[in-house]
C-alpha cells in the first residue's frame, strides 16, 4: 500500500491561476513529486501545502487545519506580516527563486551603469548638438552602496563587484561577502551613505526600515548621488527626496516602488526631470523557476528538514 499523495492548493490572484497551475502541474510531474494539486471543492482542512499570495483574497489560515507550509510567491511579505496570523508551527516562506533574483540583479546593474556612464548627459548633449568631451571614471573608482544584503541585495552586490565597482553594503546583521565592504547598524548606515555615489535600495519594508531614507540620512550622501529603489516605496520619505532633488544634492532617482501603486497621476514624481518611474517591474517571480523552488521546499519538508526563507513575524521579514 502506498501513502496517499500530499495535497497542494494554489491560491493566487485569479489572473495568475492558469499560468501557475500549468507550470506546477508540469514541475510536479517532471520531478515525480508525491504531491497533487487538490481537486476543486477539496475542503481547506485537507490541504497540506498552500502556494500563496495576498492577492488571492485568502486572509484567514485558520480553516487550513492540516497545513504543513505556506509558500508565498512574493519576496515581500509586508502585506501579510502583522496583518494576518498563521499558526506558529506552520512555516510561512518568502519566495526566493533564480528568475526573480536574476531579474533584480539586471535591473540594478542596468540602472547603475546608466548613472555611472551618465548616459543622460550624452542624450542631452546629442539633443543640443554639444561636443562635450567628458569621460566617466572607471567603475573601480566609483562606489555603489547597497542597502539590504538578503537574497536580492547580496546577488546584486556580487554582480556589481564583478562589474568592477567599489561596493559597500548594509544589513541588520554583520556580513562577510567577498569584495564588499559590509556595514550594519545605525553607524554602519551613515558610513555607507557617506561614500555611496550610487545607492541601491533593496530592503524589506518593516517598522524599522520605514523612511530609512529621510532628510537626515539623505544628507549623508555625497553631493550629486543617484538612488535606485526597488525595495518598497515607504523606505523613502518622498518629501525629503523631492527636496534633495530640488537642491541638486541628489542628482537623479530611479523608483520602481511607491507608497501608492499605481503611482497617482498627480504625484510629483511623474514628469519630474530628476526621476525615472518604473511600474513595479524591477523583478517578477517567474512561474516555472518559482514552482521548482517550491518543490525544493516541499522535498525538504518531506525529508523532515527545516524549510528555507521562513518569515519571522517579529523581525517583520
Ligand atoms: P531578504 O532576503 O529578507 O533580505 C532582506 C535584507 O534586508 C537582509 O539583508 C536584512 O538584513 C536587511 N534588513 C532588514 N531589516 C533591516 C534593518 N532594519 N536594517 C538593516 N538591514 C535590514 O529579502 P529579499 O528577498 O532580498 O527582498 C528584499 C525586498 O525586495 C522584499 O522585501 C521586497 O520588498 C523587495 N522586492 C521588490 C521587487 C520589485 O519588483 N520591486 C521584487 C522582489 C522583492 P539581515 O541579512 O541581517 O537579515
The answer to pTM > 0.95 is yes
Ligand 1 atom with the smallest distance to the CA of 203 is 7
At 3 the pLDDT is 79
Quote the ligand 1 centre to 217 CA distance (angstroms). Answer: 19
Mean of pLDDT over the chain: 97
Quote the ligand 1 centre to 49 CA distance (angstroms). Answer: 25
Quote the ligand 1 centre to 150 CA distance (angstroms). Answer: 5
**Which residue, judged by its Cα, is nearest atom 43 of ligand 1?**
75
- List residues with catalytic annotation: 232, 280
Sign of the C-alpha dihedral computed for residues 64, 69, 71 and 75 taken in this order: positive
**Which residue, judged by its Cα, is nearest atom 30 of ligand 1?**
231
CA nearest to 155, candidates 59, 273, 23, 282 = 282
Kindly tell me if the per-residue pLDDT of 2 is higher than 80. Answer: no
pLDDT tens digits, one per residue of 169-208: 999 999 999 999 999 999 999 999 999 999 999 999 999 9
**37 ligand 1 Cβ < 6 A:** no
Confidence of residue 61 (pLDDT cuts 50, 70, 90): very high
pLDDT tens digits, one per residue of 112-121: 999 999 999 9
Provide mean pLDDT across the span 225-236. Answer: 98
Q: Find out whether 230 and 104 touch, Cβ atoms under 8 Å.
A: yes
Confidence of residue 245 (pLDDT cuts 50, 70, 90): very high
Provide mean pLDDT across the span 129-142. Answer: 97
Amino acid at each position: 500500500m502506498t501513502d496517499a499523495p500530499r495535497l497542494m492548493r494554489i491560491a493566487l490572484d485569479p489572473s495568475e491561476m492558469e499560468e501557475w497551475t500549468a507550470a506546477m502541474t508540469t514541475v510536479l510531474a517532471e520531478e515525480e513529486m508525491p504531491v497533487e494539486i487538490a481537486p476543486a471543492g477539496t475542503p481547506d482542512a485537507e490541504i497540506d501545502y498552500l502556494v500563496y499570495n495576498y492577492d488571492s483574497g485568502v486572509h484567514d489560515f485558520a480553516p487550513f487545519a492540516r497545513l504543513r507550509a505556506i509558500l508565498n510567491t512574493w519576496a515581500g511579505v509586508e502585506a501579510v506580516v502583522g496583518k494576518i496570523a498563521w499558526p506558529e508551527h506552520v512555516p510561512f516562506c518568502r519566495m526566493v527563486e533564480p528568475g526573480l533574483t536574476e531579474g533584480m540583479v539586471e535591473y540594478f546593474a542596468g540602472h547603475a551603469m546608466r548613472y555611472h556612464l551618465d548616459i543622460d548627459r550624452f542624450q542631452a548633449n546629442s539633443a543640443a548638438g554639444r561636443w562635450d568631451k567628458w569621460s566617466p571614471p572607471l567603475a573601480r573608482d566609483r562606489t555603489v552602496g547597497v542597502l539590504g544584503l538578503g537574497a536580492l541585495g547580496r546577488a546584486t552586490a556580487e554582480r556589481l563587484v564583478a562589474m568592477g565597482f567599489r561596493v559597500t553594503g548594509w544589513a541588520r546583521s554583520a556580513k562577510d561577502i567577498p569584495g564588499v565592504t559590509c556595514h550594519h547598524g545605525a553607524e554602519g548606515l551613515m558610513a555607507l551613505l557617506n561614500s555611496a555615489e550610487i545607492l541601491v535600495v533593496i530592503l524589506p519594508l518593516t517598522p524599522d526600515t520605514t523612511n530609512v531614507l529621510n532628510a537626515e540620512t539623505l544628507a549623508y550622501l555625497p553631493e550629486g548621488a543617484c538612488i535606485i529603489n526597488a525595495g518598497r516605496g515607504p523606505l523613502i520619505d518622498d518629501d525629503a527626496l523631492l527636496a534633495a532633488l530640488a537642491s541638486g544634492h541628489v542628482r537623479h532617482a530611479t523608483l520602481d516602488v511607491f507608497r501608492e501603486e499605481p503611482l497617482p497621476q498627480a504625484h510629483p514624481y511623474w514628469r519630474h526631470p530628476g526621476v525615472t518611474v518604473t511600474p513595479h517591474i524591477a523583478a517578477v517571480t517567474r512561474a516555472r523557476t518559482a514552482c521548482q523552488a517550491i518543490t525544493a521546499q516541499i522535498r525538504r519538508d518531506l525529508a523532515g528538514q527545516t524549510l528555507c526563507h521562513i518569515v519571522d513575524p517579529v523581525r517583520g521579514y
